[in-house]
């Protein structure tokens, strides 16, 4: 995927759901994976011509692993974005102290809490997560299969506790296109050091969708169309461009 295509789809999501207003200071969550780096790249480049002016800061929550951030720092410098790395003991809490059988849930909660606190401390009023189109679909099926409800995360969510608005500008971008963008622009991705990586319910859902798509090609498009045209309240596009969706 070319940069122009990434910017076009990112801007459409931002415009459709009024994710950005003048004067916003946005924290971009950096995990070191392809999705978060592509999001950082897109929002950084979009700053140059987007009519509403905003600031960016990149924040990475280190869970307690030894990680070389040197290449990510170079990318941030090239994009003129400050990078903050927040050191935590989340790995020790999840695996050593709590010894969780299902570590992903607690890890996610602690990681998001640390990120939101860091964003608030950095003076941000918004935070950007790198969830893409496939994540939207997978979350819908996970909610349906494991929770018995029709639900997926919203394009825009206001977090009362931290007083930060969470935005997801990549919701119109396919994961396979992000993979192409990563290779074309040589994004400095580093491997997820978590021992639970690849052994999650989300990975099971990914495999299920692949099987369904082999039998009924185009199922991803139909599922996503059902989300954006259905009755999930948080996906109804706002009419007033000055009123963000909560």
Q: What is the mean pLDDT of residues 55-59?
A: 97
How far is the C-alpha of 193 from the C-alpha of 66, rounded, in Å?
A: 9
Establish if 33 belongs to a structural domain: yes
More confident residue, 6 or 99: 6
Establish if 143 belongs to a structural domain: yes
Tell me the pLDDT tens digit for each residue of 90-149: 888 888 787 777 777 788 889 899 999 999 999 999 999 999 999 999 999 999 999 999
* 12-to-155, 171, 186 alpha-carbon distances in Å: 12, 10, 25
Establish if 242 belongs to a structural domain: no
Among positive and negative, which fits the CA dihedral 190, 67, 3, 235? positive
Whether residue 232 is predicted with pLDDT greater than 90 in this model: the reply is no
How far is the C-alpha of 89 from the C-alpha of 92, rounded, in Å?
A: 5
Between CA 146 and CA 149, with CA 148 as vertex, the angle to 5 degrees is: 115
How far is the C-alpha of 197 from the C-alpha of 192, rounded, in Å?
A: 7
What's the domain range around 91?
3-235
Establish if 243 belongs to a structural domain: no
Tell me the pLDDT tens digit for each residue of 150-198: 899 999 999 998 899 999 999 999 999 999 999 999 999 987 676 666 5
Whether residue 3 is predicted with pLDDT greater than 50 in this model: the reply is yes
Q: What is the mean pLDDT of residues 42-46?
A: 97
How many folded domains does the chain comprise? 1
Establish if 244 belongs to a structural domain: no
* 79-to-39, 47, 120, 190, 212 alpha-carbon distances in Å: 12, 10, 22, 18, 39
Predicted confidence at residue 243, as pLDDT, reads: 47
**Do 200 and 208 form a contact (C-beta atoms < 8 A)?**
no
- Looking at every residue in the chain, the average pLDDT score rounds to 90
Instruction: Give this prediction's pTM.
Output: 0.91
Q: What is the mean pLDDT of residues 34-57?
A: 97
Bridge partner residues of 86 (DSSP): 61
Whether residue 21 is predicted with pLDDT greater than 60 in this model: the reply is yes
Residue 31: which CATH number?
3.40.50.620
At 246, the pLDDT band (50, 70, 90 cuts) reads very low
How far is the C-alpha of 127 from the C-alpha of 166, rounded, in Å?
A: 5
Cβ atoms < 10 Å from Cβ of 136: 23
Tell me the pLDDT tens digit for each residue of 204-231: 999 999 999 999 999 999 999 999 987 7
Whether residue 52 is predicted with pLDDT greater than 70 in this model: the reply is yes
Q: What is the mean pLDDT of residues 18-44?
A: 96
What's the gap between Cα 215 and its chain centre? 29
């Amino acid at each position: 995927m070319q940069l122009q295509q990434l910017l076009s789809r990112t801007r459409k999501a931002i415009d459709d759901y009024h994710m950005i207003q003048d004067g916003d200071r946005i924290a971009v969550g950096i995990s070191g994976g392809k999705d978060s780096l592509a999001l950082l790249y897109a929002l950084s480049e979009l700053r140059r011509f987007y009519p509403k002016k905003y600031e960016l800061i990149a924040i990475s929550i280190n869970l307690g692993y030894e990680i070389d951030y040197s290449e990510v720092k170079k990318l941030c410098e090239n994009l003129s974005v400050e990078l903050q790395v927040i050191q935590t003991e989340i790995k020790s809490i999840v695996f050593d102290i709590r010894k969780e059988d299902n570590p992903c849930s607690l890890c996610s909660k602690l990681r998001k809490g640390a990120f939101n606190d860091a964003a608030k401390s950095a003076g941000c009023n918004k935070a950007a997560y790198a969830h893409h189109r496939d994540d939207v679909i997978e979350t819908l099926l996970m909610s349906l299969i494991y929770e018995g409800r029709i639900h997926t995360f919203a394009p825009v969510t206001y977090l009362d506790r931290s007083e930060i608005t969470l935005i997801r500008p990549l919701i119109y971008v396919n994961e396979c296109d992000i993979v192409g963008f990563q290779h074309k622009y040589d994004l400095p991705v580093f491997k997820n050091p978590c021992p639970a990586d690849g052994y999650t319910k989300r990975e099971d859902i990914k495999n299920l969708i692949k099987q369904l798509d082999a039998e009924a090609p185009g199922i991803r498009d139909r599922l996503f169309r059902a989300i954006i045209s259905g009755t999930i309240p948080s996906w109804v596009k706002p009419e007033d461009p000055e009123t963000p969706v909560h």
